[in-house]
Amino acid sequence: MGWQDELRKNITTVEELSRYLDIARREKRCLEEVVARHPMNITRYYLSLVNKDDPEDPIRRMAVPSVDELDLSGFYDTSGELANVKVSGLQHKYTQTALVLATNRCPVYCRFCFRKRLVGLPTKEVARRFRDVVDYVKSHEEITNVLISGGDPLILPTKLLEGFLKELSTVNHLRYVRIGSRVLATFPQRILDDPALVEVFERFSHGGKKVYVVTHFNHSRELTQEAKEAVAKLFKAGVVVYNQAVLLKGVNDNPDTLASLMRGLVSMGVVPYYLFQCRPVKRVKKRFQVALEEGYWTVEEAKRRLDGLAKKFRYVMSHRTGKVEIVGIHGDHIYFKYHQAADPYDTGLFFRRRLREGAGWLDDLDDIIQRRLGRSTSQTPPIPCVG
Ligand code: SF4
């Protein structure tokens, strides 16, 4: 049986889910309301990782809908993605990187997803014609890499991915291609059961553009034997594998869990790359977002338990103005630095905000006290207004 047949057996209704997990009748009605708005999709594999006796099990929290999703605080496009769309399905926010939304589907619809506005739903945001995407990249020589994202791009048929990679490999100024995918955590069978996909990666990594797969493991219990085998296949094909995680309440928001995830990743040869602050997305914020102050100390405490490679990741916030690293807390201030900025002029900008209890996003913080620190040359530009 192929990987596509396996996906057809996904759990997509509350009724079906209640055959596997204890769900009270009243809760069922609420969950049906949630699922009518944001669909549920869980692979049998991922469900098998859930501890059925624990209603607060971290794997369960990530995949199973909750009544908390009826909470509408927050907003849907927290990183200002729509403002950066250049052609259908392509965003160009940071000078060197083109981001392609290749699909709106995923093997599992994670309940914390920041693209909740489009996953599993009708949308005009995904690429309609890869030809247009390639033409845009070709005409922008400043672009050094393309990040293929979604949804989960590895849910696409291998032939289609191959065609897209082939087109991209003809663009001279492109150095590498990144594929952001959570299949290694939620459905490693996609890699294990399709040797053709691994061959495609091998061909492009060696003869075309270097392929990076950016995985998305959030908890060490996702680092199963199957996941390890799938990662090993990617390595064998010459793919470089990095991991991006999200700091999630009730999932990995304690130092031991976080440290165990990072340790597990480096043991597999996967480099921890970013730890994202959970965005204030509607139906996500209440259930999953950890306050910045708490998040910062959790991360620092985790880092104390880790060696240099395992703590290589940066704790960042993907804000509409740029990728903001959360670098420190001192006194009643929290310090940030633009790792990437929508306005290239701001890249490297170091600034601070007064701490505010419960603040989970840059916009929640007082913006009166902010100062450019660290640049002292005569070329230092004037202090920009951030936020
Ligand atoms: S796999 Fe990624 S894009 Fe898909 S639902 Fe999960 S977090 Fe969102």
Ligand 1 centroid distance, CA of 156 (Å): 14
Residues 279-292: pLDDT tens digits? 999 999 999 999 99
Mean pLDDT of the chain: 93
Ligand 1 centroid distance, CA of 234 (Å): 20
Ligand 1 centroid distance, CA of 329 (Å): 31
* pLDDT for 382 beyond 80: no
Alpha-carbon separation of residue 257 from 30, 260, 261, 276 (angstroms)? 30, 5, 6, 15
Higher pLDDT, residue 123 or 371: 123
Alpha-carbon separation of residue 384 from 26, 350, 372, 377 (angstroms)? 51, 11, 8, 16
Q: Mean pLDDT across the stretch 220-230? A: 98
Alpha-carbon separation of residue 120 from 85, 97, 290, 321 (angstroms)? 20, 25, 26, 27
Residue to mutate (ligand 1; options 106, 147, 178, 184; most atoms within 8 A of CB): 106
CA–CA distance, 350 with 374 (Å, rounded to integer) = 7
- Atom 6 of ligand 1, nearest CA residue: 110
Residues 305-354: pLDDT tens digits? 999 999 999 999 999 999 999 999 999 999 999 999 999 999 999 999 99
Residue to mutate (ligand 1; options 64, 123, 182; most atoms within 8 A of CB): 182
Ligand 1 centroid distance, CA of 105 (Å): 8
Domain ranges of the chain: 3-67, 82-319
Tally of CB atoms within 10 A around 267? 12
pLDDT value at position 207?
77
Q: Mean pLDDT across the stretch 265-287? A: 97
* pLDDT for 379 beyond 60: no
Where does ligand 1 bind, in terms of residues with CB under 6 Å?
Answer: 106, 109-110, 113, 115, 119, 150-152, 182
Whether residue 250 is preceded by a cis peptide bond, meaning omega within 30 degrees of 0, is no
Ligand 1 centroid distance, CA of 182 (Å): 7
Question: Residue 359 — pLDDT band, cuts 50, 70, 90?
Answer: very high
pLDDT value at position 374?
44
Question: What backbone torsions phi and psi does residue 222 show, to the nearest 5 degrees?
Answer: -85, -10
- Atom 3 of ligand 1, nearest CA residue: 151
Question: Residue 367 — pLDDT band, cuts 50, 70, 90?
Answer: low
Residues 42-95: pLDDT tens digits? 999 999 999 999 999 999 999 999 999 999 999 999 989 999 999 999 999 999
Ligand 1 centroid distance, CA of 150 (Å): 8
> What is the pTM assigned to this prediction?
0.93
Ligand 1 centroid distance, CA of 349 (Å): 30
CA–CA distance, 232 with 239 (Å, rounded to integer) = 10
Residue to mutate (ligand 1; options 69, 109, 155, 251; most atoms within 8 A of CB): 109
**Residue 314 · residue 306 · CB < 8 Å:** no
* pLDDT for 182 beyond 90: yes
Residues 8-48: pLDDT tens digits? 999 999 999 999 999 988 899 999 999 999 999 999 999 99
- Architecture of the CATH domain 82-319: Alpha-Beta Barrel (3.20)
Residue to mutate (ligand 1; options 69, 152, 154, 183; most atoms within 8 A of CB): 152
Ligand 1 centroid distance, CA of 114 (Å): 8
